[in-house]
Amino acid sequence: MRQSTHQALLRQIPAVDQVLLRPLIAAWVERTGRSLVVSEIQALLQEVRDGIRSGDETYVRAVGMDNLELVLDQRLRARLRPRLLPVINATGVILHTNLGRAPLSTGAQESLSAVSGHYANLEFDLATGDRSYRDKLLEGLLGEILGSEAATVVNNNAAAVFLILNTLASGKEVVVSRGELIEIGGSFRIPDILARSGAVLREVGTTNKTRIQDYEAAIGRDTALFLRVHPSNYRIRGFTERPGLSELLDLAHRHEVPVVEDIGSGLLADLSRFGITEEPIAQKSITAGVDLVCFSGDKLLGGPQAGIIAGSRKWIEPIRKNPLMRTYRVEKLIYGALEGTLAAYRAGRALEEIPVLMMISISPEELQRRSRRFVRRLKPRLPAGCRIELFKGHSVVGGGSCPGSELPTTLLALESARYRAHVIEARLRSQSPPVILRLEEDRALLDLRTVFPSQEDLLLSGIAHALE
């Protein structure tokens, strides 16, 4: 570019005030206020000026007002898009930790929203007008469902395990089977949490076999408790042995040692007829006589992120008094959502109302019908050169639970003459709402199990748009 062309182009760049008058831009000023829009305009105009001075041809085409308006509109849209968005989970992974684990039931959403914009009796006794304590708020409801004497709620199950160990075992020994020294999701490792809690790890048995005699031999003056951990995210097959819970409880209680069980997922309903057979059920642990059981609120329980500790009052009370309890306490929104979720269990309607359990319990036949119907509706909207094919596969429970349980499902494979599978994945991810799918052996796969029926229309147009 010649110097005179530069000058001519630079003179064509409009002033900020002129840009502000354009309809799309004026609408942004209306919505978001002037200063943000002005700063975005200034940044763009400077970029165009620099581009022209450096002789970059792409900026020669950028100076027109129509183009500037469109670019600004896109940039403002991107800048103001919320960072946290609802997405369509078409992966078939039900408890997808990266997608926020359990979506809440309608009842839970209602309870949460009922208290969200108002004051609530979080720590206020409505009967007496006295102050009360949030960590006792759901003790009664949890007791009804679990059969527990006492219960409390903390931020997540990792916090629950840590608080239990810190309260009951600091400076003393915690007996754990070597087959249960697990890692859940990267940073949560039983030996590390135990060390940080101030407790001393007393490992017993071997990776695949731990016998009751191994526990017995470990009991001594310094024994604080037996910790039993559900190996949530892996299984050892073959030559294995682990004492039954009642056998362990007998031994422990003969020596007045409490047993703490971290069951992980918070399963409160029998799902064995859907193939979930290896997850411990919280009520069973309480009935068997475990002193404390702890589990997550947002795994198989199907509620908000929380950690629930239930069991005998003797052990719950000191946990409540631990000064660290304050650092793990949860706010009223979580209590609202958790109470709304638990209410479905009390009413015996968990499988009808809690999304995670509904997704687990949909039959393969129903999924096939839904998938066929979906394909029939999608086909006429698919651009030329695209194909969709149905075949059998598996959904997974996820969230570090049920590693062996694969739920039979129908998968939809998307193919396009224009785009490779990973490009299809990226294009679906950039839709609004974003659609997250599964990539397997260079195939773009959708599993309707984790798609809410109410999202199917959005999914349909998202796919049609992404494949254009």
Q: Which residues bind ligand PLP (CB under 6 A)?
A: 156-158, 161, 184, 188, 229-230, 232, 262, 264-265, 296, 307, 400
**Closest distance of CB 286 from ligand PLP, Å:** 17
Q: Is the peptide bond before 280 cis (omega within 30 degrees of 0)?
A: no
Q: Which is nearer to ligand PLP, 401 or 410 (CB)?
A: 401
CA atoms in the 13 A half-sphere facing the CB of 444: 23
**Closest distance of CB 156 from ligand PLP, Å:** 3
Are the CB atoms for 319 and 163 separated by under 8 Å? yes
Q: Which is nearer to ligand PLP, 107 or 399 (CB)?
A: 399
**Closest distance of CB 298 from ligand PLP, Å:** 7
Are the CB atoms for 300 and 265 separated by under 8 Å? yes
**Closest distance of CB 465 from ligand PLP, Å:** 35
**Closest distance of CB 102 from ligand PLP, Å:** 11
Neighbours of 443 (CB within 10 A): 16
From 121, 152, 129, select the one nearest 139 (Cα to Cα). 152
**Closest distance of CB 262 from ligand PLP, Å:** 5
Q: Which is nearer to ligand PLP, 223 or 232 (CB)?
A: 232
Q: Which is nearer to ligand PLP, 166 or 296 (CB)?
A: 296
Q: Which two tokens stand for residue 408?
A: 């039979």
Q: Which is nearer to ligand PLP, 229 or 459 (CB)?
A: 229
For residue 296, what are the β-bridge partners?
307
Q: Which is nearer to ligand PLP, 296 or 410 (CB)?
A: 296
From 376, 449, 451, 443, select the one nearest 86 (Cα to Cα). 451
Q: At what angle do helices 106-116 and 332-346 cross, to 10 degrees?
A: 150
Rounded Cα distance, 211 and 242, in Å: 6
Q: Which is nearer to ligand PLP, 169 or 388 (CB)?
A: 169
**Closest distance of CB 64 from ligand PLP, Å:** 53
**Closest distance of CB 189 from ligand PLP, Å:** 10
Q: How far does the chain reach from its first CA to its final CA, in angstroms?
A: 37
Classify 456 as helix, strand or coil.
helix
Q: How far is CA 178 from CA 131, 163, 211, 328, 443, in A?
A: 45, 22, 11, 28, 40
Rounded Cα distance, 310 and 293, in Å: 5
Residue with tokens 């620099």: 50
Report which residue's Cβ sits closest to ligand PLP: 264
Q: Which is nearer to ligand PLP, 263 or 382 (CB)?
A: 263
Q: What is the DSSP string of 386-423?
A: EEEEEEEEEEEEETTEEEEEEEEEEEEEEEESS--HHH
Q: Which is nearer to ligand PLP, 156 or 410 (CB)?
A: 156
**Closest distance of CB 306 from ligand PLP, Å:** 8
